[in-house]
Amino acid sequence: MVHQSIFILSVIFFALFLLAQLYSLSAAAAVASILFACIIFHRRSALEPKNLPPGPPRWAVVGNLLQLGPLPHRDLAALCRKYGPLVYLRLGSVDAITTSDPSVIRQILLQQDEVFASRPRTLAAVHLAYDCGDVALAPLGPRWKRMRRICMEHLLTTRRLEAFARHRACEAQHLVRHVYGLCRDRGRAGIDMREVLGGFSMNNVTRMLLGKQYFGAGSSGPQEAMEFMHVTHQLFRLLGVIYLGDYLPFWRWIDPHGCEKKMREVEKRVDDFHTKIIEEHRRAAAAGEAKAAAGLAGDSDMDFVDVLLSLPGEDGRDRMDDVEIKALIQDMIAAATDTSAVTNEWAMAEVIRHPRVQRRIQKELDSVVGRDRMVSEPDLAHLNYLRCVVRETFRMHPAGPFLIPHESVRATTLNGYHIPAGTRVFINTHGLGRNPDVWADDDVEEFRPERHWPVAEGEQGDGVGRVEISHGPDFRILPFGAGKRKCPGAPLGVTLVLTALARLFHCFEWSPPGGMRPEDIDTAEVYGMTMPKARPLVALARPRLAEHLYL
């Protein structure tokens, strides 16, 4: 046995020596690292515990990576249909599990929350989230706990969200006025709803966070807005990439698409942006103090950056570090903007595809709100059918197809199977919403908000409670996750989604552009950290209220 190993190693060294002579040292190094990885993999396979959950056969080195295509949520759902509710995969050097089963998900997110509530340290988290110094991508630990507490106790409190209600009302009015103008300008060509809904989400978030509106009358100027949009789009894209360097360490040496280089470039540009924002806020605060000293009180409501600049730091320090503030701003922009815009675009696409659903939404709006005033936030609790529409949108098109991937902090047992420490967890919310075992009596591919209606079909539902949009005890829909890492912005996210949809369906009649039939609106998706429609939604709008209400 020893002689055999010595012989194989001698042959490998001789082959590498020849490669180095004939080609280059780097070719020899690349082959050496692949061979080395093969040997490690072989040894690991031999040592591997045998009681792992079932899963597909895997290749040496790459494991199951080659079985994942451009829509990995669909590939993983197919594996669950084949191998059962809990599937094991090896992605390069990383152990991974996936599920789209409510009872396994409940075990992971609630019963074993302590074990599974961490996050993998991906290169995107290192470069684009201040070395995992934020909330969303930070591993479980005291740093994450402190940053999450700041979010919950100082930023996303009910009191602070209520204080921003008038800004949201202003943005909602800006939205309908904007669409009203576009109806006339664009004629039969239709309106690009991705642009409109993206602007609405971005404005709401930046007003609350930074005290600025980026699009519209009070905007910070087209140059800055374009730059901001461009950088944040690059950020979203890079956060969503499945980067092979996270699974195959040697890939980082090659990095054929320069992904890590792009991450570093975007990291620098985003950081410059945040530095500028913090400086502007410090200058404004200094001017405010001067005004206060002179007896001229400034605007009393603080945006999130003002709040963060006023908080004490760790270990008795006077103020929070700039890096911590930047990480939190970044998180909020990334977590809040795209999620609500993507959900709104899907909801509009599905409703326009189903004119019957649009008629029922409008009937409810006309009865709850009437036609001589605009929808306001207090109305949203009474729009139960619209709430069913949002629930159905989350079932079919969850904004985060795998939530944000979790990671186990130690070895554990799940459904009787061994789960190693450091296992990456892909909770497939897209698969869950279309799991035929969960939605047994329904056609899972059909958009049908009525399935969430709390009373039997045909009944009015007066007196029934408010339709909840977050997950219930059955874990059949999971738009915001659950447990320790549950989305802290869920109430705000729901408000932004419902507000935009209520306003747009109350104020306008929607149809597909240029003679297209409703059912021809496509519903193909593209995978990313959030999962938008592959092609932007373009639609025609016709005003349905009196003109003075739009102005």
- Which has the closest alpha carbon to 263: 367, 401, 119, 124? 124
Nearer to ligand HEM, 263 or 497 (CB): 497
- Please tell me the distance from the alpha carbon of residue 35 to that of residue 30, in angstroms, as a whole number: 9
Nearer to ligand HEM, 400 or 431 (CB): 400
- Please tell me the distance from the alpha carbon of residue 151 to that of residue 128, in angstroms, as a whole number: 19
Find the shortest distance in angstroms from Cβ 504 to ligand HEM.
Answer: 16
Nearer to ligand HEM, 85 or 493 (CB): 493
**For residue 106, is it left (φ>0), alpha (ψ between -120 and 50) or beta?**
alpha
Instruction: Give the three-class secondary structure for 525.
Output: strand
Q: What are phi and psi of 88, to 5 degrees?
A: -100, 140
61 touches 251 (CB < 8 A): no
- Residues in the site for ligand HEM, rule: CB under 6 A? 135-136, 148, 151, 331-332, 335-336, 339-340, 343, 399-400, 403-404, 479-481, 485-489, 492-493, 497
- Please tell me the distance from the alpha carbon of residue 428 to that of residue 400, in angstroms, as a whole number: 9
Residue 170 labelled as part of a binding site: no
The residues, ordered by sequence, that sit 6+ positions from 9 with a Cβ below 8 Å of its Cβ are none
**For residue 255, is it left (φ>0), alpha (ψ between -120 and 50) or beta?**
left
Strand order through the sheet with 538-543: 191-192, 538-543, 508-511
Find the shortest distance in angstroms from Cβ 110 to ligand HEM.
Answer: 11
- Which has the closest alpha carbon to 496: 140, 201, 194? 201
Q: Which two tokens stand for residue 241?
A: 């990439």
Find the shortest distance in angstroms from Cβ 332 to ligand HEM.
Answer: 5
264 touches 243 (CB < 8 A): no
Select the residue whose beta carbon is closest to ligand HEM and give its number.
Answer: 489
375 touches 506 (CB < 8 A): yes
Instruction: Give the three-class secondary structure for 368.
Output: helix
33 touches 44 (CB < 8 A): no
C-alpha distances (whole Å) from 332 to each of 23, 109, 134, 151, 500 are 50, 22, 10, 9, 19
Find the shortest distance in angstroms from Cβ 391 to ligand HEM.
Answer: 12
Nearer to ligand HEM, 89 or 136 (CB): 136
Nearer to ligand HEM, 58 or 406 (CB): 406
Find the shortest distance in angstroms from Cβ 1 to ligand HEM.
Answer: 47
| Long-range contacts, stretch 460-464, CB < 8 angstroms, 24+ apart | 461/384, 464/384
Nearer to ligand HEM, 62 or 333 (CB): 333
Instruction: Give the three-class secondary structure for 509.
Output: strand
Q: For 10-165, where are the E strands, in sequence order?
A: 87-91, 94-99
Nearer to ligand HEM, 109 or 541 (CB): 109
Find the shortest distance in angstroms from Cβ 73 to ligand HEM.
Answer: 13
Query: 395: which strand partners?
Result: none
Find the shortest distance in angstroms from Cβ 105 to ligand HEM.
Answer: 10
Find the shortest distance in angstroms from Cβ 487 to ligand HEM.
Answer: 3
Nearer to ligand HEM, 167 or 486 (CB): 486
- Which has the closest alpha carbon to 284: 273, 296, 298? 298
Nearer to ligand HEM, 331 or 350 (CB): 331
Find the shortest distance in angstroms from Cβ 170 to ligand HEM.
Answer: 18
Q: Which two tokens stand for residue 268?
A: 């620098």
- Please tell me the distance from the alpha carbon of residue 403 to that of residue 322, in angstroms, as a whole number: 28
Nearer to ligand HEM, 394 or 550 (CB): 394
- Please tell me the distance from the alpha carbon of residue 47 to that of residue 70, in angstroms, as a whole number: 32
**For residue 209, is it left (φ>0), alpha (ψ between -120 and 50) or beta?**
alpha
Nearer to ligand HEM, 328 or 507 (CB): 328
**First-to-final CA distance of the chain:** 86
- Please tell me the distance from the alpha carbon of residue 104 to that of residue 107, in angstroms, as a whole number: 5
Nearer to ligand HEM, 52 or 138 (CB): 138
Find the shortest distance in angstroms from Cβ 499 to ligand HEM.
Answer: 11
302 touches 263 (CB < 8 A): no
Find the shortest distance in angstroms from Cβ 129 to ligand HEM.
Answer: 10
Find the shortest distance in angstroms from Cβ 481 to ligand HEM.
Answer: 3
Going by the annotation, the residues of the binding site are 487
Annotated binding site for heme: 487
